[in-house]
Structure 1
Amino acid sequence: MRLRVNPLLLGWGLGILGLVALAGLWVLLVPPGPKELRIAAGQRGGAYAATAEAYAAALRAQGLEATVVHTDGAVDNLALLRARRVDLALVQGGLAGTAAPAEARERDEGLVSLGSVFFEPAWFFVQAGMPAVTRQALLGRRIAVGPEGSGSRALALALLDANGIPADQVTLLSFVGMRAATALLDGEADAAFFVSAQAHAPIAALMRVPDRARLVDFAPWADAYARLLPYLTPVTLPRSGFSLAEDLPEADVRLLAPAAYVAARADINPQVAALVAGVMRRTHADRQGFAAEGRFPAILNQELPVQPDARRFIERGPPLLQSWLPFHWAVFIDRLLVLAVPALTVALPLLRFAPPLWRWSVERRIWRRYADLARLEGRVADPDAPLDDAARQEVLARLARLEARVATMTVPHAFLHRIFTLRRDIAFLRRQLARQA
C-alpha cells in the first residue's frame, strides 16, 4: 500500500512544530526576568543596610519589587544567599570562594560576584601604652573582635592566623560597636577590631583619645599582608583625614581593607545582573572615603567568579537596550533577539516550501472539479450502459451544478486559464450529450 502524504497538512504540521520549538526555546533559553529581588543587607544603621536601601529604591524605579532583608552581618548575608533565601547579598571580601575554608568553597560553587563596591578598612585600636603590634605583643591579649559569625571576627582571625597566632592563644571578646570601644578605654580589653567603610561612632570615640587608644599603622607590613591575603588592599588614612580641625590622625596611617562586593547566585537572570551593575555604578561612582571618583564598581580581588554580564557592564558600560528602554521592555526585546537565530532556522525551510504548497493548494481545488467532470464523462462515454433520456437529464443537471460551482471559484490570476479550460471542457461534454440526444 502506497502512503500518500498531503503536502498542505505536512506544511501545517511543520509550522506547528516550529512554533512549539520556538516556544520551548523562549522559556528555556531566555527565561523572563524576576518580578522581585531580595537583598541581604546586614544590621540596621550600617553601611550595608544603607547601600541595600539605595539599591532597592533604584530597582523599584525600574519596575522591580525589591525587599531589604536585615541580618546580623556579612557572614549571615552569605549564608542566606547559599540557602537561596535571598537573591543578592552584600559580602565582605575574604568570606567566600577561594578565600573561604575548604568546606565552604563547595557551597560557594553556585555563587558569582557582580563586582566590588567600596573598601571596608580594618581599624585596629590598641591601648596607647601597648608596645609595637607584633606576634609576641599580641599573644595572650584580650581582643574585641565582634560576635561569632561576624565579618570583623572572620577578618581578625585571618590576620592573627597570618601572624602565626592560634585563636586559643588570645582571648577573643564578642564585644561590638560602642561596647568594644568602652571595653578598650576601661581596660577590659587590650585591643578592639572594627571593619567599617566609615569612621562610625565607636571609631570616632577612640580616634579622639589618642592618649588612651592608638590606631595601628600597618605600613611596615601592608605589602606582606596583601601578599598573604590577596583580598586585602592597603589604603591610607591621611594626616587629619579623620578631623582637620583636631589634626587627627597626626600622621598618615596605613590600613588594610577588604572590598565589599555584591554576590548573587550563578543562575541570576543576565538582564538583572546588568541592571544591578548599573545600579551599583550610579550608587558608588562618586568619590568615597578611601577611593577616588569612578573607582567603583570594580573587578577587584574577586574570590568568586564574576558574572559575565556584570563584567561587561563594568568594563564597557550598559547594554544598548537598557540605555534607551525601561528594564522590562529591554528584557522582552532581548529575548526576541536571542530567539532570532533559531526562528530563522525554522522559518527559512518553511519559506522554501511555502510557494510550492501554495500552488499545490490552488491546483488541488481545480483538480477536484476536474475529477467530478471525469466521472460524468465516464458515464456518458460508457458503451455498455447507454444513457436514456432520464439519465441524460440527470447528467445535464449535474453538469449545471458543476459549472455553477466553478463559476464561483476564486483563484489567483495566474490560474484563471485553468478555470477557463475547465469551463470549456464542461461545455464540450454538454455538446456530446446533445449529439447523443
Structure 2
Amino acid sequence: MWAIIITFLRTWGLIVVLVAAGLAVAYRFVAPPPPQLLRIATGPGPDSAYARATQRYAAALRAEDFTVELVESQGSVENLALLRQGKVDFALVQAGVAVAAPAAAAQGARNSDEVRLVSLGAVFFEPVWVFVRRDSGRQRLQQLNGARIAMGPEGSGTRALALALLEVNAVSPDSYVASPLSGIQAAEALLAGQLDAAVFVAAEPGPAISRLMTATERVELVDFETRAAAYARLLPYVTPVELPRSGFSLALDLPTEDVVLLAPAASLLAKADVHPQLVSLFIRILQAEHRGRQSFAPEGRFPSALNPDVPLHRDAARWYQSGPTFLQSWMPFWVAVTVERMWVLLIPLLTLALPLIRFAPPLYTWQMESRIYRYYDDLRGIEEALPRAADPPARDALLARLNGLEAKLQKLSVPAAYGRQFYALRRDMAWLRERLSPRG
C-alpha cells in the first residue's frame, strides 16, 4: 500500500514541483511586486499646500506598509527636476510648469529615458493672486513694464506662472525687476512701497494673501474677468475660477465684488515606469484626500484628468473613465495586488500545467507497470538457463531463483487496475515452475 502511495506522490509531486518552480520564476520576473521605498517631493515650507498634501499621502502609504521618504524642495520647478533626475518617485507639480520652464525642469537630466513622466491626475486648483499698489497706476499686467514684482524664488511654480503671464502680455523680461520675495515678506514689501506688484499662487489664502486682502486702501487684487477667456486660450493649463463677493470675508465684505482668478491645477506626477499597482493605490489615496468640496471646486471635481500638460498614465485614464477594478474596490491593497499578479500568471500557468498534467497519467502507468514487468528479466534469464540445467542440482538452483522471485512478488502491492498484469505474471511464474519440475 505504501509503495502505491509513494509512486503516486512521486509522480504528481514531480508535476507540482515543476509547476511551482515555473510559477515562482514567472511571479518574480513577469509580475514583480511594487517597490517598498517611495520618495515623494514636498514643497516650500511645512505649511504649503504641497507639503500638507504629501504628508497625508505619506501617512496613507505607511498604513499600507510602505516606507516613505519626503524630499524637501522649493516648489514645482524643482519637483519636476527631481523627478526627471530620478531623485524622487512622485511629486506635486503645478500645471504649466513643464511648458513654462522646460529648461529649468530638465536641468541635470542625462538622457531622454530619464525624463519621461506621467500624470496620475490633477488634485486641486491653485489660483494666481496678483496684487498691485493702487498708487502705482498699474492695474493690468500689460502695465507692469518697469515694475518691481515679487514672484517667488527660482524653482517655484509661482515664478514659472508669473513669467508665463507676463510673457503673454508682451512684458519684456528686461523691463521689470523680478524679486525672489514670497509669502509675508513679499506682502509687507508691497505695502511698504518697496514693490509695485506681488504674485502668489495658493490653493487657500495664507497669511500673506490675508494681509493684502485687508489692506484695500493701498493694494488691490487684479481681476481677470474681462480677459479670462483669452488667458485660457493662450495658456491652456489655466482655468478661470471665481472668488465671489465676500468670499474671503463676510464680516469685512471682502472682496467687495466678484473677482475672477486664473487657476492652474496641481497634478501628481510620477516616473513613466511607475508600477501599475502604485497607480491604483495613489488614485485611491487622491480620491480620499481630494474628492470633497474645495474652495474653488465643487465636491467630486478632483482628482481628475484636467488639462494634463504631462501625458496621463494609461491606468489612471482607465480609472477615471471606469473607476477602480472589482478586486481593488473590495479587497485590501496587498491582497488585491497579489490576486491580480496571480491572475496575470494564469496563462503561463495553464501553458505549463496542462501538458504536465497530461503527461502524469502515462508516467504513473509506466511506473506501476515497470514494477511488474521488471520480473520478466529474471524469468527470461531462468528460462534461457533451463536447457543447460541437465542435472538435478542445476535445476534446483534455478528453482531457488524462481522461489526468490515469488517471495518478492508476494510483497508486491499494485492497484486493482493493474491486477491483469499482476496475475499474468503469476501465471507465467507457474508455467516456468512447471518446466523446472522433473516431469516438465
Instruction: Give the TM-score normalised by structure 1.
Output: 0.91
Partner of residue 71, structure 1: 73
State the Cα distance separating 1:322 from its structure 2 match: 2.3
Partner of residue 391, structure 2: 388
Tell me, yes or no, if the aligned pair for 1:82 and 1:107 is still in contact at 8 Å.
Answer: no
Partner of residue 37, structure 2: 36
The count of corresponding residues between Structure 1 and Structure 2 is 425
* Distance in 2 between residues matched to 1:371 and 1:351, nearest whole Å: 31
Partner of residue 26, structure 2: 25
Whether 1:423 aligns to 2:435 is no
253-262 vs 345-354, which deviates more? 345-354
Partner of residue 7, structure 2: none
Q: 1:286 to 1:28 in 2, by over 3 A?
A: same
State the Cα distance separating 1:78 from its structure 2 match: 1.9
Partner of residue 293, structure 1: 299
* Distance in 1 between residues matched to 2:185 and 2:360, nearest whole Å: 80
Partner of residue 60, structure 1: 62
* Distance in 2 between residues matched to 1:205 and 1:129, nearest whole Å: 18
Tell me, yes or no, if the aligned pair for 1:226 and 1:234 is still in contact at 8 Å.
Answer: yes
Secondary structure of 1:129's match? Answer: helix
Give CA deviations for 1:77-103 in whole Å, capped at 9, x if unaligned. 22222222222111111122x565378
Partner of residue 109, structure 2: none
Give CA deviations for 1:104-158 in whole Å, capped at 9, x if unaligned. 5747742111111000000000001344544651111110001111110011111
Give CA deviations for 1:17-57 in whole Å, capped at 9, x if unaligned. 66554333212221112223222111211111111111112
158-167 vs 206-215, which deviates more? 158-167
Tell me, yes or no, if the aligned pair for 1:135 and 1:164 is still in contact at 8 Å.
Answer: no
Residue type matched to 1:145 in 2? M
Whether 1:434 aligns to 2:437 is yes
Tell me, yes or no, if the aligned pair for 2:81 and 2:105 is still in contact at 8 Å.
Answer: no
349-358 vs 282-291, which deviates more? 349-358
Please show how residues 16-415 of structure 1 align to structure 2 within 5 Å.
Answer: 19-43=20-44, 44-96=46-98, 100-101=101-102, 106=112, 109-131=115-137, 133-134=139-140, 136-380=142-386, 382=387, 385-415=388-418
Give unpaired runs (5+ residues) of structure 2. 1-9, 107-111
State the Cα distance separating 1:356 from its structure 2 match: 2.2
Tell me, yes or no, if the aligned pair for 1:15 and 1:350 is still in contact at 8 Å.
Answer: no
259-268 vs 371-380, which deviates more? 371-380
State the Cα distance separating 1:11 from its structure 2 match: 10
* Distance in 1 between residues matched to 2:142 and 2:16, nearest whole Å: 79
Secondary structure of 2:412's match? Answer: coil
Secondary structure of 2:69's match? Answer: strand
* Distance in 2 between residues matched to 1:85 and 1:387, nearest whole Å: 93
Q: 1:339 to 1:99 in 2, by over 3 A?
A: farther
Q: 1:436 to 1:166 in 2, by over 3 A?
A: farther
* Distance in 2 between residues matched to 1:420 and 1:267, nearest whole Å: 66
Q: 1:263 to 1:182 in 2, by over 3 A?
A: same
* Distance in 2 between residues matched to 1:49 and 1:139, nearest whole Å: 34
Tell me, yes or no, if the aligned pair for 2:132 and 2:220 is still in contact at 8 Å.
Answer: yes
Residue type matched to 1:24 in 2? V
* Distance in 2 between residues matched to 1:73 and 1:333, nearest whole Å: 38
Q: 1:404 to 1:283 in 2, by over 3 A?
A: same
Tell me, yes or no, if the aligned pair for 2:101 and 2:160 is still in contact at 8 Å.
Answer: no
Residue type matched to 2:211 in 1? A
State the Cα distance separating 1:402 from its structure 2 match: 1.3
Secondary structure of 2:240's match? Answer: strand
State the Cα distance separating 1:76 from its structure 2 match: 1.9
Q: 1:102 to 1:144 in 2, by over 3 A?
A: closer
Partner of residue 4, structure 1: none
Partner of residue 4, structure 2: none
309-318 vs 215-224, which deviates more? 309-318
405-414 vs 276-285, which deviates more? 405-414
289-298 vs 221-230, which deviates more? 221-230
Residue type matched to 1:77 in 2? N
Tell me, yes or no, if the aligned pair for 1:114 and 1:306 is still in contact at 8 Å.
Answer: yes
Q: 1:148 to 1:338 in 2, by over 3 A?
A: same
Q: 1:374 to 1:189 in 2, by over 3 A?
A: same
Q: 1:103 to 1:250 in 2, by over 3 A?
A: closer
* Distance in 2 between residues matched to 1:297 and 1:267, nearest whole Å: 21
Tell me, yes or no, if the aligned pair for 1:406 and 1:419 is still in contact at 8 Å.
Answer: no
* Distance in 1 between residues matched to 2:428 and 2:31, nearest whole Å: 59
Tell me, yes or no, if the aligned pair for 1:92 and 1:261 is still in contact at 8 Å.
Answer: yes
State the Cα distance separating 1:297 from its structure 2 match: 0.4
Give CA deviations for 1:297-321 in whole Å, capped at 9, x if unaligned. 0000111121222333333332222
Q: 1:133 to 1:28 in 2, by over 3 A?
A: farther
State the Cα distance separating 1:360 from its structure 2 match: 2.1
Partner of residue 5, structure 1: none
Give CA deviations for 1:364-412 in whole Å, capped at 9, x if unaligned. 22221122212211111x3xx2343332222122212211222222222
